């Protein structure tokens, strides 16, 4: 999102300035816009703490500032970082509606030996028979995710997939499998032969849909309106002290 002081407001501000203040105004405007943009990013991080359950550092640091060029432009841009831009979950949380499949879901829909449709997958938790391993942010642990992909021969690097030989070498390691019948759809973990398996991943044929939650656009505009006037006055005062 582009953040800038509209020309009419800048003209009104400029009308009552002295010559030396007018000379410093372009510099002060760029400084003020950059400071306000950083405050917008701080607000977004705080907002994520409210609307998300234990957001990861990757999520909280999703936005970056492309600053205004001093004396040349009083426009800054707050945008998703390139790594985030290739993902879709923040966009869905902002706009609401159904989301596209994740990379994991696409892999499992192609590789899992399941007769039904796999549109989405959800870590299975909440009971003795649904017991996915979660990390401290409440997400499915990357370690178990990799184990599942290896067991189902779904790793992008085929050398990481579990083979019959590697399975024999690690007899004490938990096994993961997709049952063909008799159990609810998903991926199951069994620690030892004969042990009752527990589900670690649920399969669903439904496309997940989300309400509007993040409020990036509205929150950005509100913070900018609230803070730009004070930041411009402070930046101009600082510029004048330096000029004198």
Could you report the average pLDDT of every consecutive run of 10 residues in the chain (244 residues)? Answer: 69 67 82 93 90 90 86 81 72 85 89 88 92 94 92 67 51 80 91 88 91 81 89 89 70
pLDDT value at position 14?
66
Q: How many CB atoms lie within 10 A of CB 112?
A: 22
Supply the angle between the helices 7-15 and 19-51 in degrees, to the nearest 10.
Answer: 140
Q: How far is CA 93 from CA 60, 169, 175, 202, in A?
A: 13, 44, 35, 22
User: How many whole angstroms separate alpha carbon 30 and alpha carbon 27?
Assistant: 5
| Residue 152: closest CA among 181, 186, 178 | 178
User: How many whole angstroms separate alpha carbon 180 and alpha carbon 155?
Assistant: 21
3-state secondary structure of 25: helix
Tokens of 212: 């509007």
DSSP state of 159: G
Phi first, then psi, for residue 2 (nearest 5°) are -85, 135
Beta bridge partners of 98: 209
CB 177 within 8 A of CB 185: no
For the segment 118-159, what is each residue's pLDDT rounded down to a tens digit?
999 999 998 889 999 999 999 999 999 999 999 888 766 555
Tell me whether residue 239 is exposed, middle or buried, using C-beta atoms within 10 angstroms of its C-beta: 0 to 12, 13 to 18, 19 or more: buried
pTM for the model: 0.74
pLDDT value at position 169?
47
CB 81 within 8 A of CB 64: yes
């Amino acid at each position: 999102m582009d953040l800038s002081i509209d020309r009419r407001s800048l003209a009104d501000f400029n009308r009552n300035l002295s010559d030396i203040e007018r000379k410093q105004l372009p510099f002060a405007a760029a400084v003020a816009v950059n400071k306000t943009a950083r405050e917008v990013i701080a607000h977004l991080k705080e907002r994520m703490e409210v609307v998300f359950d234990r957001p990861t550092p990757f999520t909280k640091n999703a936005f970056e500032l492309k600053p205004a060029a001093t004396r040349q432009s009083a426009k800054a841009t707050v945008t998703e970082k390139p790594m985030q831009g290739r993902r879709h979950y923040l966009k869905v949380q902002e706009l609401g509606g159904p989301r596209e499949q994740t990379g994991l879901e696409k892999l499992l829909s192609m590789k899992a030996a399941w007769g039904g449709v796999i549109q989405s997958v959800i870590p299975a938790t909440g009971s003795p028979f649904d017991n996915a391993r979660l990390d401290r942010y409440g997400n499915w642990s990357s370690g178990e995710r990799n184990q599942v992909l290896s067991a189902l021969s779904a790793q992008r690097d085929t050398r990481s997939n579990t083979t019959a030989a590697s399975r024999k070498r690690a007899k004490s390691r938990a096994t993961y499998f997709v049952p063909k019948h008799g159990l609810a759809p998903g991926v199951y973990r069994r620690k030892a032969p004969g042990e009752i398996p527990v589900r670690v991943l649920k399969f669903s044929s439904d496309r997940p849909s989300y309400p509007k939650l993040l409020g990036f656009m509205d929150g950005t505009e509100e913070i900018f309106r609230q803070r730009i006037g004070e930041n411009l006055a402070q930046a101009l005062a600082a510029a004048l002290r330096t000029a004198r």
